[in-house]
Structures are given as C-alpha cells and as structure tokens.
Amino acid sequence: MAKKKVFVSFDYENDKHYKFLMQAWDANPDFEFVFSDHSSGEINSNNISVVKAGLTRKINNATHTFVIVGKKANKQHKDYKLIGFKNWINFEVNKSKANNNKLLAIKLNKSYESPEELLGAGASWAMSFTQDSILAALKKL
C-alpha cells in the first residue's frame, strides 16, 4: 500500500497519544497501516495568525485529513473568535475541505460529539480506534 500524505487533526491536550499510536502502527511492519505524517508538531506560538498559517501550510501539503474525534473534539475554544471556528479541529477540517483533502473521521467513542465542520462533509467514518475499523474506512475513500 502506498503511503498517503496525511494531516492528523486532534485535540492536542487530550488525544495526542492516539496520533502517536498511529505513527507506531506505521513504523511496525506487522501492521497493514501506512501513512506519511504531514501533521504539525506543536506550534510554539500563542499568536493565532502564526498557528493558522502553520496549520494551513501542513494541511495544504496533505492529500488526506484524519480527524480523531475524542470527547472534547467539538468543545468551544477560549479563542474561538480569533480562530474563526468553534475550535482548532473545526478550523483544520474547514481548511482540509478547501484543499479537497479526503476526510477520515475516527471516533474514539460512538457517543462523542463530532466537530461541526465534519458533518455533511463526505467523510468516511471509523466508529472505533482500531486498525481494522480505520483500514475499512480508508478503503471507502
């Protein structure tokens, strides 16, 4: 399987270990999961414009966006007015749609509220964070 250029959108404070797990799957030759991570490392800035520019650059270099839908994926961020969206995940999904990235939503729990920008966006959905569920959803893209 060829590596996909992937931007991973997730709640950094609460769900970063899931992104790290995906990187471990990619590094493990026994797993049938490969991707080229085009996500941003932690952007060391409190300047919203700098963060937006950095995220947009990374999203525009990707062909796919994986959205990890954790418990707080649709929670309003304190700087939502400056971000222009409810939170960073919604910003990233919006930019991904504008870049025509294929969207894969990965729910950590079926009951978690999805980011508003994902709804009706034509995303493929994995309803659990398992390799099988994610691979099945990827095949639908």
- pLDDT, tens digit, 9 for 90 and up, residues 14-72: 999 998 888 888 887 776 666 666 665 556 667 899 889 989 998 998 999 999 999 99
Q: What does the pLDDT look like over 75-129, one tens digit per residue?
A: 999 999 999 999 999 999 999 999 999 999 999 999 999 999 999 999 999 999 9
| 85-98 confidence digits (pLDDT tens) | 999 999 999 999 99
**Nearest-angstrom CA–CA distance, 43 and 46:** 9
Coarse DSSP helix, strand, coil percentages of the chain, rounded to the nearest 5 percent: 40, 15, 45
- H or E segment and range at residue 9: strand 4-9
* pLDDT score, position 42: 58
Q: Let me know how many helices (H) and strands (E) the chain has, helices first.
A: 5, 5
User: Could you tell me which of 28, 26, 32, 29 has the C-alpha nearest to residue 8?
Assistant: 26
